[in-house]
Copies of this chain bind each other. A is one copy, B any other.
Amino acid sequence: MSDAFESYLNENRERFLDELKTLLSRPSIAAQGIGLTETAEIVRTRLERLGADVRLLPVEGAPPIVYAELGHRGPLLMIYNHYDVQPPEPLELWESRPFEPSFRNGRVYARGVADNKGNLLGRIQAVETWMATRGELPIRLRWVIEGEEETSSAHLECFVDENEELIRGADGCLWESGYRDKAGRPVLTMGLKGIAYFELTARGAKSDLHSAYAPIIPNPAWRLVWALATLKNEHDEIMIDGYLEHVVQPPAEAVEAADAVPFEEARFKADSGIDRFVAGVTGKEAVRRYLFAPTCTICGIESGYTGAGAKTVLPSVARAKVDLRLVPDLTPELAAELLRKHLDRHGYGDIRIELLGGEPPARSSIKSKVARAARAAAESVYGKDPVVYPNMAGSGPMYHLCDRFGIPAVGSGCGDSDSNVHAPNESISVEDYFTHVRFMGELIETFKE
């Protein structure tokens, strides 16, 4: 970065950290409906101080979207962030309070600091710094900052449907997330898997009965187990009829990127406490499977008596939570349709399916303008070659904001491998925070070309 940028950053370091503390001190928990509009107002005010044209756009059934525009020339960069955070529970595992930011050992601890209030605010401060030291922006910026990412962005698609003109036309999108790996390399992400999250319910008698009735009264726990066992076999192969026909091979550049991802297999296995990956995959094959394979996962299952000891009960209901991580060309709607048809065809028409949430997969080319700009900025700021993930194994609303309009995206952020995202003691390194500010400043340069 320029000396002027560094000097300004240095002079305003304490204020920038104070602003971060203010944002982190405000609980904004989408799952619990806590503090969302208040936090949106903080973000709106901060963007207004930058000189942006800001609007709080109402979303039916959801917290408002903070939408902002800044700049009058050059290519148009959309910035996607979210101001909501995961619930802080379990509270007893936090070493400091989740909404009272604690600075220790060169890190900031607070719920949402890595995911993703740090990214959200650092990018704004980067634009301030750029303008304060260089003047008029050489690119146009457009912020879309939502408040229910942590609850699957359930209403974002509707919002986009009704506000296409606010999204369409961006030349690239800087996505919310990214981190620095254990070796200090910046990680850029080019996409996400989709997801379809289902609840399956089987019902039997109208109330739980004594298990002595098992010879004649149907048991919904068995129905559910048998139905589930038709979805994926004991070799971990997804057996949903017609499902795999919709899985297309990832493009060569994505496979190449996956093969270049550093993977410390032994350490990963030790950290997870397992000695063998699913289907016995290993090395590059494990990385490819991790990034490109669709999944069918029992996230939860419950029926009958689950307390201590023995209770001889014949359950009246059994439920499972099943998530399908989707890869191109699968979509939540297609997954729901195939799952229903599959269960019907296998004799499980009685099992109710509810689609609790879904997002299509998304992936941008690593050759896009915004990807090339992000790589150049990351190389310059971190001094290391970035690791480029062709997509993450997780999910998010990227499709609705980007792929749907042909807008390429790339993710980068200030977390690291110790950030405990979604877990107690979420944190980032203070230096990584400012490095992300520098990255955003540099991206204004590399993206303007």
In the assembled complex, which residues on chain B have CB atoms less than 8 Å from the CB atom of A313?
299-300
Contact between B215 and A226, CB atoms less than 8 A apart:
no
For chain A, the bracket of interface size reads 35 or more
Contact between A299 and B304, CB atoms less than 8 A apart:
yes
In the assembled complex, which residues on chain B have CB atoms less than 8 Å from the CB atom of A286?
216
Contact between A321 and B325, CB atoms less than 8 A apart:
no
In the assembled complex, which residues on chain B have CB atoms less than 8 Å from the CB atom of A211?
295, 297, 299, 323, 325
Contact between A212 and B325, CB atoms less than 8 A apart:
yes
Is residue A210 within 8 Å, beta carbon to beta carbon, of the partner chain? yes
* Residue among B225, B290, B315 making CB contact with A228, cutoff 8 Å: B225
A216, A276, A305, A394, most chain B CB atoms within 10 A:
A216
Is residue A405 within 8 Å, beta carbon to beta carbon, of the partner chain? no
CA distance A305 to B298 in the complex (A): 9
Contact between B299 and A321, CB atoms less than 8 A apart:
no
* Residue among B229, B291, B314 making CB contact with A299, cutoff 8 Å: B314
CA distance A438 to B280 in the complex (A): 71
Contact between B298 and A315, CB atoms less than 8 A apart:
yes
Knowing A195-B312, A311-B321, say if A214 contacts B302 (CB, 8 Å).
no
Residue of B nearest to A197 (CB): B310
Is residue A111 within 8 Å, beta carbon to beta carbon, of the partner chain? no
Segment touching B, from A68-76, A141-149, A168-176, A201-209 = A201-209
CA distance A215 to B279 in the complex (A): 9
Is residue A127 within 8 Å, beta carbon to beta carbon, of the partner chain? no
In the assembled complex, which residues on chain B have CB atoms less than 8 Å from the CB atom of A325?
211-212, 214-215
In the assembled complex, which residues on chain B have CB atoms less than 8 Å from the CB atom of A422?
210
26 A–B pairs (Cβ distance < 8 Å), ordered by A: A193-B212, A195-B312, A197-B310, A204-B274, A205-B274, A206-B272, A206-B273, A209-B272, A211-B295, A213-B290, A214-B295, A214-B323, A216-B281, A216-B289, A217-B277, A218-B274, A218-B277, A218-B278, A221-B298, A222-B232, A225-B229, A299-B310, A299-B312, A301-B301, A301-B306, A312-B323
